[in-house]
Amino acid sequence: MRVLLVSMPDSFEHMPSVGIRMPNGALTSLAGNVDAHHDVAVADLVLVQDRVRETLLRLLDERDPEIVGLSVMTFQRPTARKVVGLVREVRPRARIVVGGYDPSLAPRPTSTSPTSSCAARASGPSASCCPHWRAAAGVRGSRGSPTAPRTGGTTNAPRPIARLEDGSIRPPRRQARVLSGYTLLGRPVDVVETSRGCTFDCSFCSIIAMRGATSRLVDGPRAGRRARRARPGGEGHLPGGRQPHLDVRRFEAMCRALIEAGLNDVEYLVQAMTSAIAQAGDTLAPLMRRRASGTCSWDRERARGGPGFLRAEAKNRRREDGRAAGNATLAAIEHLHRNGMWWWAG
């Protein structure tokens, strides 16, 4: 079966494509978890924002896909409708599957669209897809299940969450990409997923709604192997997932594995929280610095606890002898600066 997976070209307002053109890790994960005899191509349209229609027409002509899968976030929904319309016009017999945060968390607007075949309600990059595709292609997934097709079916019950530790989810297949040019501030970049999910319940975050209140972790050595496969020319790197605060010791093991594998000649960006860096900074921050030979290892999180309705205070609380001892932000910043790292608070 010929499959074309595309992500939308729209950029976040705080991530302009002139400085940030990131790969969609979900699509390469899907490609890696489809049986090998299927022909899967991945196209991140953020790389061709000035020639989206031209690129899609070329790929539809070259690949002649039987299935076209779209990864869509809510702010990208209008663009997705246009893409679906173009596919319908050029390849009317192709089955269209829409997945990602938007159809997963708001399936009704997608499944009732007059132009889509079905919406894939999924949780996690390699989660479920259209039932016809899953049955034919053997996609290995995590949480979630397909929603109704255009003709008005029903939503299937969620499937059990697959653990990252047991190896049942295969690594991403980056060679399925048919476009190139991923950059972060002018440097080549790629994404490595070494954890999935989060157990915190911040009111502004959709992760628990998308993936459930669980965290699944890849052990340190395996994370190092994943980083080796994704190495972007020794220039830039972005390990994915919420790293240190899920398991500090595991994160330390991952840092050591990257150093021992000789992968400390690239720069890393990790999403963390201030309390973990403040609590374990004496040992963790030097390891983070050693694994990156450049000048930056950015950590981002809430700089302050904020109003109570955000439910994020615990992520920024400093503790001493098991008791709350104020905000952890300044202590975390001191650890990072002492080890020559940049920080970025969102």
Using CA atoms, how far residue 336 sits from 235, 263, 275, 276, in Å, is 21, 20, 13, 12
CB atoms within 10 A of CB 200: 17
Q: Are 307 and 279 in contact (CB under 8 A)?
A: no
Q: Are 6 and 83 in contact (CB under 8 A)?
A: yes
Q: What is the pLDDT of residues 203-227, one digit of tens each?
A: 777 777 777 777 777 766 676 677 7
CA gap 145, 129 in Å, rounded = 7
Q: What is the pLDDT of residues 245-261, one digit of tens each?
A: 667 888 888 888 888 87
CB atoms within 10 A of CB 96: 23
pLDDT at 178: 97
CB contact set of 160 (below 8 Å; sequence gap of 6+): 143
Instruction: Give percent of the chain with pLDDT exceeding 70.
Output: 65
Phi-psi region of 186 (alpha: psi -120 to 50; beta: other; left: phi over 0): left
Query: pLDDT at residue 92 above 90?
Result: yes
List of domains in the chain: 2-149 (3.40.50), 182-338 (no CATH)
Sign of CA pseudo-dihedral 5, 10, 14, 16 = positive
Q: Is 259 helix (H, G, I), strand (E, B) or coil?
A: helix
The mean pLDDT of the chain is 74
Q: What is the pLDDT of residues 36-86, one digit of tens each?
A: 899 999 999 999 999 999 999 999 999 999 999 999 999 999 999 999 999
More confident of the two residues 172 and 59: 59
